[in-house]
Structure formats: structure tokens, C-alpha cells
């Protein structure tokens, strides 16, 4: 009889680690709302406790290099459930790869994984950025202007950045005499016009400059002004643009 009892004791001793391991292995379950995410997504992890032992379950998140990103204790509800929403924001979740989420409840530990695929960000880095928009043409309809003339300034930009071009008019001494906004149309062309008034916006004869500003670029053109109209007939040649980087 004694030998029989000793035999049972030895069998239980050998099997007990396996029995307890199986019991604790099913203590809780974990689920993710999906397995693959991108930067900026929200991850929802939830689970169920089968055998209540403690009021909280520990959760830790590790990046693909094994660096810990966060550690939390999740409260277990009266329905034996727990959940957590993780915002996969920069800079902690910029790296693509497999992230480890480790759970500890009592003596039981479980490892779960999710994947972040930031293919969009990586592909965008390979795309060449377009050149900076600039003014590629700036001119006036005439070379010479006099009192009561209407000056029309036109031009062209290489690409659309803002809807208007800022144009400044400067006298022969470099003093500003007026500023105007020229709207850009669908063909990327712009124009504006204003009246010449001697003694008001034009006080001295000489060479006036036009400076047009758009995005980070500037272009310059010139015209002549005199209070008395010039006698020459050569007054229709357009001024070339001078670009300033």
C-alpha cells in the first residue's frame, strides 16, 4: 500500500508542472483589431481574462530593435475584459517592422506582435521635389510712358504657388512709388495696370524699375518715364525680364 501511494506521489510530482502550465497558459487571450498598420493609425488591443487573479494586466510595447516604447497596467473590467488604444504617432512608430507587445498576468507571460508598414513615407522620400515656382517673364507694353498713360505690366510664372504676384514700382533713386497685386490665371499668366499721374506716383523723369515677387524668387524689368511724351515712334518693344535668384 505504501509503495502504491509513493508511486502516485511520484507521478503527480512529474506531471504537476505540465498541469499548472496548461492551466496558466489559458489564463487570458489577446486580440488586435488588425495585424498591419501605418504611421498615424490607431491600434486597438483587447482581451479576456479567463481566470481572475489580479485586477490589472501589465502590457509593454517594444520597437523592432527591442527598445521599450511604453508600459501600462490595464484595468480588468467586471466582465473580465481589458482594452487599450495606442496612437502610432511619430517619432516612436516611424520605423517599419514587427513590434512586440508583451503581456504579464500573475506568473503568465505572452508575446504578441503587430507590423507597421510605412511604405508611403519611404516612397515619398524617393520622389524628386519639383523646382521652386518662379517668374519666367515680366514686361510692359511700352518702353516709354508719360503723364496720364496707363501702364500695363504682364508676366508668366513657371508653376502655381500663391494666387497673386506682388509688384513694386521704384523711381530712378530706388524709392518705391507703388505696390500692386497681379492675379495669376489658369494659364499661369498675370497682369496689372495703373494710371500715371505726374507729381503723384511719378515725380521725376528717368528709368523706373519693376520688381515682381513670387514664392522665393524676384524678377526685375525697366521702363522710361518723362512728363512730356517722347517724340520717338519706337515705343512698343517689350522689356526683357531680369531674374534675381
3-state secondary structure the chain: CHHHHHHHHHHHHHHHHHHHHHHHHCCEEEEECCCEECCCCEEEEEEEECCCCCCEEEEEEECCCCCEEEEEEEECCCCCEEEEEEECCCCCCCCCEEEEEEEEECCEEEEEEEEECCHHHHHHHHCCCCCCCCEEEEEECCCEECCCCEEEEEEEECCCCCCEEEEEEECCCCCEEEEEEEEECCCCEEEEEEECCECCCECCCEEEEEEEEECCEEEEEEEEECCCCCCCCCCCCCCCCEEEC
Name the fold adopted by 26-125: Immunoglobulin-like (2.60.40)
Distance from C-alpha of 19 to C-alpha of 170, rounded to nearest angstrom? 93
Sequence-separated (6 or more) residues with CB below 8 Å from residue 236: 141, 142, 143
Q: Where in the chain are the domains?
A: 26-125, 135-244
Distance from C-alpha of 230 to C-alpha of 144, rounded to nearest angstrom? 7
Supply the pLDDT for residue 130. 58
Supply the pLDDT for residue 9. 45
Supply the pLDDT for residue 48. 94
Supply the pLDDT for residue 121. 44
Name the fold adopted by 135-244: Immunoglobulin-like (2.60.40)
In this chain, the answer to whether the domains covering 26-125 and 135-244 adopt an identical fold is: yes
Supply the pLDDT for residue 240. 52
Summarised one tens digit per residue, pLDDT across range 10-57 is 444 444 444 333 444 468 999 999 989 999 999 999 999 988 888 999
Supply the pLDDT for residue 13. 45
Supply the pLDDT for residue 230. 72
Supply the pLDDT for residue 51. 84
pTM over 0.75? The answer is no
Supply the pLDDT for residue 216. 86
Q: Over its length of 245 residues, how does the chain's per-residue pLDDT go in tens digits? A: 444 444 444 444 444 444 333 444 468 999 999 989 999 999 999 999 988 888 999 999 999 999 989 889 999 999 999 999 999 998 889 999 999 999 999 889 999 999 999 865 444 444 455 578 999 999 999 999 999 999 999 999 999 988 999 999 999 999 999 999 999 999 999 999 999 999 999 999 999 999 999 988 899 999 999 998 877 656 554 445 555 55
Distance from C-alpha of 182 to C-alpha of 167, rounded to nearest angstrom? 7
- Please return the burial class of 59, using the count of CB atoms within 10 Å of its CB with bins 0-12, 13-18 and 19+: buried
Amino acid at each position: 500500500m505504501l509503495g502504491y501511494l509513493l508511486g502516485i506521489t511520484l507521478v503527480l510530482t512529474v506531471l504537476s508542472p505540465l498541469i499548472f502550465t496548461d492551466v496558466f497558459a489559458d489564463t487570458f487571450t489577446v486580440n488586435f483589431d488588425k495585424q498591419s498598420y501605418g504611421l498615424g493609425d490607431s491600434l486597438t488591443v483587447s482581451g479576456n481574462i479567463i481566470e481572475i487573479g489580479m485586477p490589472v494586466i501589465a502590457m509593454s510595447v517594444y520597437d523592432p530593435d527591442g527598445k521599450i516604447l511604453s508600459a501600462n497596467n490595464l484595468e480588468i473590467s467586471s466582465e473580465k475584459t481589458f482594452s487599450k488604444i495606442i496612437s502610432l504617432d511619430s517619432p516612436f512608430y516611424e520605423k517599419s517592422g514587427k513590434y512586440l507587445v508583451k503581456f504579464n498576468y500573475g506568473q503568465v507571460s505572452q508575446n504578441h506582435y503587430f507590423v507597421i508598414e510605412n511604405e508611403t513615407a519611404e516612397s515619398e522620400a524617393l520622389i524628386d521635389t519639383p523646382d521652386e515656382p518662379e517668374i519666367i517673364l515680366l514686361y510692359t507694353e511700352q518702353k516709354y510712358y508719360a503723364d496720364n498713360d496707363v501702364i500695363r505690366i504682364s508676366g508668366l510664372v513657371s508653376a502655381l504657388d500663391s494666387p497673386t504676384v506682388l509688384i513694386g514700382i521704384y523711381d530712378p533713386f530706388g524709392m518705391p512709388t507703388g505696390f500692386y497685386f497681379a492675379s495669376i490665371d489658369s494659364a499661369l499668366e498675370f497682369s496689372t495696370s495703373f494710371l500715371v499721374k505726374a507729381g503723384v506716383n511719378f515725380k521725376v523723369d528717368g528709368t523706373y524699375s519693376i520688381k515682381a515677387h513670387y514664392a522665393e524668387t524676384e524678377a526685375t524689368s525697366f521702363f522710361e518715364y518723362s512728363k512730356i511724351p517722347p517724340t520717338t515712334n519706337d515705343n512698343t518693344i517689350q522689356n526683357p525680364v531680369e531674374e534675381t535668384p
